[in-house]
Chains A and B, each alone.
Chain A
């Protein structure tokens, strides 16, 4: 078996539909400009549409057009609000496939780095078991909110963005950026579960969050260990993690701002070895790119243009 694989090589059974996630990548480099966001999403509309065909997101695309991805990302999920049910299913599905990719990432760290220290292998092996349990937990939570595996397309961009060939960069990407994102999302979802009196979700997610903090800690400790005599390597690991985090901000959807769709889990992250300085930096990254207000405006324009276009199409057809 070769060492290092591409994200296209991740194997799935036939329930899964694969989709390229160009939206998150492009958003990472977008300026804070309404027209730029509108142009971009109109341009990549066909790709977004293709990713929804044959999935539960198809009706959402038909109704809102390419902006539906932004709508699901940009606003926090609150119990009882319109669209919450669909967005919750989407989020659970997103977490489920994220856990699968985290499982695969941890497993590949065992195979890709055969000469790594034994303690590192123990940590990665433990992570394999934890992520395997998380996959099982989120399969159940997905059912709990009325969803099922394969109902939405899967983008493997988490694996793609986080996996690197240098073990220091790999743990920086997978264990600090990807797992850190998981902490943010889980903390937010635990709050959601509390507000909805959903004890089943609250408790199981809290256990998962405890595991994820352990994984982030593995990352914090191994980056330090791998780079202890090599400031150049430390810088590369830090830059890689920053770049990965920039992509995981989804155009500012994750940030430290009031009302962010995914707030940064500050205290949890500190517990897992993030320094105050790193967290400030992460918050600053979240502030780059389009603001929430920009996104909101862009969404309005995109939706009204899409709906106007659909109305014309219908007229022509009739």
Chain B
């Protein structure tokens, strides 16, 4: 009952001599179909990720004027651009996930509590609050996002949702670099116990809020 495989451009009796697979030493595809997220769920998560990246680069933009340290201003310039590109890439994935053409520009908070959390991260404004500003983004928000990006890459369908994985791989790599930069800056800024204390206090306060909100997708509690 096995029919010989035909290749495009060959006639019915013109059979290829190539064996379909075994003649080449190609490793077997060990990936399994089916992942934790269906199309709709992935689309929603991508909108949630986009929301976080978009707001993060906007708040960093606002802070450029009110952080006094010039190397922080210039370092943030590039992170803002990479954040905008991350949001843009997430957006471009949405029409591919059956959300319609116009969805490319849509962001959506996981829930109202996460939207409130973002505003809390963005709250510090005076020049003496660089530690609070940077701790919110580089100690709390970005590490949280990185964790979820990695998780999505691990748990989604490896073949069917590979385009999302490809986008996440690039964004996760850059996010890691951003976090390393932010930590280096924070380590330098926090050169006394009192300042280190401020950093930890901010970190604790925001982590608590973040956990209460359910995180960027609003379902942190369910995920555990």
Known: A114-B58, A118-B91, A128-B61. A11 touches B80 (CB 8 A): no
> Out of A13, A107, A122, A132, which one reaches B65, CB within 8 Å?
A107
Please report whether the interface of chain A is mostly helix, strand, loop or mixed according to DSSP: helix
| A125 x B64 contact (CB < 8 A) | no
Interface size class of B (residues with CB under 8 A): 35 or more
| B66 x A5 contact (CB < 8 A) | yes
| B58 x A110 contact (CB < 8 A) | yes
Bound complex: CA of A139 vs CA of B71, how far in Å?
A: 11
Name which residue of chain B comes closest to A121, CB basis: B84
| B105 x A118 contact (CB < 8 A) | yes
Bound complex: CA of A122 vs CA of B57, how far in Å?
A: 10
- Tell me which residues from 82 to 97 in chain B have a Cβ below 8 Å from any Cβ of chain A: 83-85, 88, 91
| A132 x B122 contact (CB < 8 A) | no
| B69 x A111 contact (CB < 8 A) | no
Give the distance to chain B from A134, nearest Cβ to Cβ, in Å. Answer: 9
Name which residue of chain A comes closest to B77, CB basis: A132
Name which residue of chain B comes closest to A129, CB basis: B81
> Is A124 an interface position by the 8 A CB rule?
yes
Bound complex: CA of A103 vs CA of B76, how far in Å?
A: 10
> In the complex, what residues of B have CB within 8 A of residue A121's CB?
54, 57-58, 84
Known: A107-B65, A108-B65. A11 touches B124 (CB 8 A): no
Residue picked from B62, B65, B81, most chain A C-beta under 10 Å? B65
Bound complex: CA of A3 vs CA of B91, how far in Å?
A: 26
Name which residue of chain B comes closest to A126, CB basis: B81
> In the complex, what residues of B have CB within 8 A of residue A112's CB?
62
- Tell me which residues from 109 to 168 in chain A have a Cβ below 8 Å from any Cβ of chain B: 109-112, 114, 117-118, 121-122, 124-126, 128-133, 135-136, 139, 149
> In the complex, what residues of A have CB within 8 A of residue B76's CB?
107, 128, 132
> Is A106 an interface position by the 8 A CB rule?
yes
Give the distance to chain B from A154, nearest Cβ to Cβ, in Å. Answer: 12
Number of interface residues of A (CB under 8 A): 36
Give the distance to chain A from B104, nearest Cβ to Cβ, in Å. Answer: 8
A-B residue pair count with CB separations less than 8 angstroms:
107
| A125 x B80 contact (CB < 8 A) | yes
Give the distance to chain A from B35, nearest Cβ to Cβ, in Å. Answer: 29
Give the distance to chain A from B126, nearest Cβ to Cβ, in Å. Answer: 8
| A133 x B77 contact (CB < 8 A) | yes
Known: A2-B125, A110-B58. A128 touches B81 (CB 8 A): yes
Bound complex: CA of A132 vs CA of B88, how far in Å?
A: 21
| B123 x A1 contact (CB < 8 A) | yes
> Out of B68, B88, B105, B124, which one reaches A13, CB within 8 Å?
B68
> In the complex, what residues of A have CB within 8 A of residue B84's CB?
121-122, 125-126
| B83 x A107 contact (CB < 8 A) | no
> Out of A1, A103, A125, A149, which one reaches B57, CB within 8 Å?
A125
Bound complex: CA of A110 vs CA of B77, how far in Å?
A: 12
> Is A100 an interface position by the 8 A CB rule?
yes
Annotate A1-20 by CB proximity to B: 1 below 8 A, 0 otherwise.
11001000111110000000
> In the complex, what residues of B have CB within 8 A of residue A110's CB?
57-58, 61-62, 80
| B74 x A132 contact (CB < 8 A) | yes
Annotate B95-122 by CB proximity to A: 1 below 8 A, 0 otherwise.
0000000001100000000000000001
> In the complex, what residues of B have CB within 8 A of residue A188's CB?
none
> Is A104 an interface position by the 8 A CB rule?
yes
| A103 x B64 contact (CB < 8 A) | yes
Bound complex: CA of A230 vs CA of B216, how far in Å?
A: 38
- Tell me which residues from 203 to 225 in chain A have a Cβ below 8 Å from any Cβ of chain B: none
Known: A11-B127, A108-B62, A121-B54. A128 touches B68 (CB 8 A): no
Name which residue of chain B comes closest to A139, CB basis: B70
> Out of B75, B83, B123, which one reaches A125, CB within 8 Å?
B83
Name which residue of chain B comes closest to A105, CB basis: B65
- Tell me which residues from 5 to 59 in chain B have a Cβ below 8 Å from any Cβ of chain A: 54, 57-59
Name which residue of chain A comes closest to B55, CB basis: A114
> Out of B65, B75, B104, which one reaches A11, CB within 8 Å?
B65
Residue picked from B61, B81, B125, most chain A C-beta under 10 Å? B61
> In the complex, what residues of B have CB within 8 A of residue A9's CB?
65-66
Give the distance to chain A from B129, nearest Cβ to Cβ, in Å. Answer: 10
19 contacts between A and B (CB under 8 A): A1-B63, A1-B122, A10-B66, A11-B66, A11-B127, A100-B73, A103-B73, A104-B73, A107-B63, A107-B65, A108-B61, A108-B64, A110-B61, A111-B62, A121-B57, A125-B61, A125-B85, A129-B81, A149-B70
Please provide the 3 A-B residue pairs with the shortest distance between their CB atoms, ordered closest to farther.
Answer: A132-B77, A111-B62, A110-B61
> Interface residues, chain A, CB within 8 Å of chain B?
1-2, 5, 9-13, 100, 103-104, 106-112, 114, 117-118, 121-122, 124-126, 128-133, 135-136, 139, 149
> Interface residues, chain B, CB within 8 Å of chain A?
54, 57-70, 73-78, 80-81, 83-85, 88, 91, 104-105, 122-125, 127
Given contacts A1-B66, A5-B66, 4 further A-B contacts (CB under 8 A): A1-B59, A9-B66, A107-B65, A132-B73
